Amino acid sequence: MKRLLLLFALTACLVARAQDEPEPPGWFNVSKLAFVANKGTDPANAPIQYMMFADKTVKENEELFGQYLTLMEEIGQEEKNQKVPETIKMQEEAINELRQNLKDNPNPEIQAALNEMIREFERQKSEALAEHVKPSKSYSYDPATILRRLKAIAVNQKIYSGYWDAGNGLYSVIEAPRYCNLEEDDKYSHTKISFAEEDRYKWGLIDENGRQILPYSYSWVNAYALYPDAFPELDLIFIYKQDPDGSVHAGIVNYRGQVRVPFIYDDLNGVYHGEDIFSFSKNGKFGLVNVKTGREVLPFEYTTFSRIAGGWMVSKDDKYYGMVSLRTGKLMIPMKYRNLWSDADLSFITYDDKIDYYDDYGHLIRTENAPTYDD
């Protein structure tokens, strides 16, 4: 039972629920286990892999999960065995450099001091290694066998190879592909679970109890592109979706999986606090979409779309510039200017070297001559 409690502490994803509600799942990062089982040589390149098991499943297979925990502890210890504390490395490099610099110095006192320093370093190094690095030992259980048994248990559950906290109690995940045969064990011949790198994974969205919110058909699920803390009332998630022809388009859904902005855009261009109108790109041009209605409020005709105070500076030809309102998405300053003169006070420079000053509502308030500079 102590092992089981520690296992739950390691997963760190269980959420307290009322007794009449289902237990949330335990997330298990099996990246290191899969890496060792496949006899990998570069841990830095091991793909991140997750399995999600219900609390009931863990309890029913307590012995297996205890073996898994023991094995993970041993794998972690082996990693420590292969590392020398960074402070020891730095000291060793410094002593070697000092030894090289003093190798031709005939002064016996200096050589004696150097030898004493080396002996003291070796003593401290031995103590540090004894404290931080334990003797290596073989694994108590075969990593490939433990991984195979975990996969077999998960045949009738969901298995994921990626995991991302999407906020609002939801998680974006990649579901591992499932095929019509499980090679490891004939008992589970109706399905196969694969973690092969060449398999095409798709992202979906689940809640904390594993209930599917979005199907696993998206190229990427990204709640953070919309800064959810700044838009709690919008409850939106930015998503890329890949079409059958391989092209990828961007759109927005809410946390119930309902499409709010259709998947017809190339990318999300800009989002700012408190706004319902977002900038997207489509076919190389920029425009605006109201995310509450999904309607385009500014046509996708602009080659320049740059945020300035109170709005967007826009252009259709990168020659004549104006400004679009953040509040309405409508053109509020005509596109007749050579460039922006000042963002702070909304002023644009004309083609006859005048400066037009506008208020926050796009009303022209005055015109001045542009300053001249003597050579």
Report pLDDT digits (tens) over 42-89. Answer: 666 666 677 777 777 888 899 999 999 999 988 888 777 766 666 777
* Position 157 confidence tier, pLDDT thresholds 50, 70, 90: low
More confident residue, 75 or 137: 75
Listing DSSP states for 108-157 in one string gives: HHHHHHHHHHHHHHHHHHHHHHHHH-PPP---SS-HHHHHHHHHHHGGGS
Task: Indicate whether 17 pLDDT > 50.
Answer: no
* Position 15 confidence tier, pLDDT thresholds 50, 70, 90: very low
What is the pLDDT at residue 186?
38
Cα 297 vs. chain centroid, distance in angstroms? 31
Which of 257, 84, 106, 233 lies closest to 170 in space, CA to CA?
Answer: 257
Cα–Cα dist 109/62, whole Å:
65
What is the pLDDT at residue 5?
34
Report pLDDT digits (tens) over 193-203. Answer: 454 555 555 77
* Position 178 confidence tier, pLDDT thresholds 50, 70, 90: low
Task: Indicate whether 291 pLDDT > 80.
Answer: yes
Report pLDDT digits (tens) over 317-360. Answer: 999 999 998 778 889 999 999 999 998 889 999 999 999 999 98
Mean pLDDT of 16-36: 63
Cα–Cα dist 71/140, whole Å:
7
More confident residue, 156 or 8: 156
What is the pLDDT at residue 339?
92
More confident residue, 74 or 226: 74
Q: If residue 65 lies in a helix (H) or strand (E), which one and from where to where? A: helix 62-81
Quote the mean pLDDT of the chain.
76
